[in-house]
Amino acid sequence: MAIRNILSGDDPTLKKKSRVVTDFNKRLHILLDDMRETLLDANGLGLAAPQVGVLRRAVLIVDLSIDTEIPEEQIIELVNPVIVECAGEQTGSEGCLSIPGVYGMVPRPEFVKVRAFDRRGEELELSCSDLAARAVCHEIDHLNGVVFTSLTDRFLTAEELENMREEREATAEAEVAEAEAESSGAQATEAESSGAE
């Protein structure tokens, strides 16, 4: 596996439509493995083949709803993905590994169902909502030569980004404190019940 160069937002490759994958061979597997390594290294939520200079319909998304301590296990590979159903609407902030430091508010469906293939050519269906739905739509847009900056309602200021970062940190700290409190409560209950025996 190798970390590939992520193309920047002004690269003309990002404006081109990707071709359908027809050969589920070793070459595809190397591409997907390299994309996985690149995505983990960049700490992103998704990556499309065009972003590493390959005009093929293959994307990776990170599904944070998958409960695991190993980030790699949250990565889902989608080859020739097609959105077959969507519902609801959400508007949230988006960024892109090809356009670092730029974020904008983009409307997306709240829920999407995607039909795709895995690396072996086996058909699969994926239903996702919230952030994962946003990531799927964002990466499929890349396959069609669309970058999020062309869809944004407005770009976020440095102050707004800092406020969002502080809110995320505060939420994360509160969740950790809550988990620790629950753990302490469970241990106290366990100690009381073992003392009662």
Measure the CA–CA gap between 47 and 33, rounded to whole angstroms: 12
Give me 53's structure tokens: 């200079």
Best CA proximity match to 135, nearest among 69, 81, 172, 175: 81
CA 78 to chain centre: 12
Measure the CA–CA gap between 25 and 21, rounded to whole angstroms: 10
Which residue in 37, 69, 122, 139 is the catalytic one?
139
Q: Has 197 been annotated as catalytic?
A: no
Rg (CA), the chain: 20
Measure the CA–CA gap between 83 and 187, rounded to whole angstroms: 46
The catalytic residues are 139
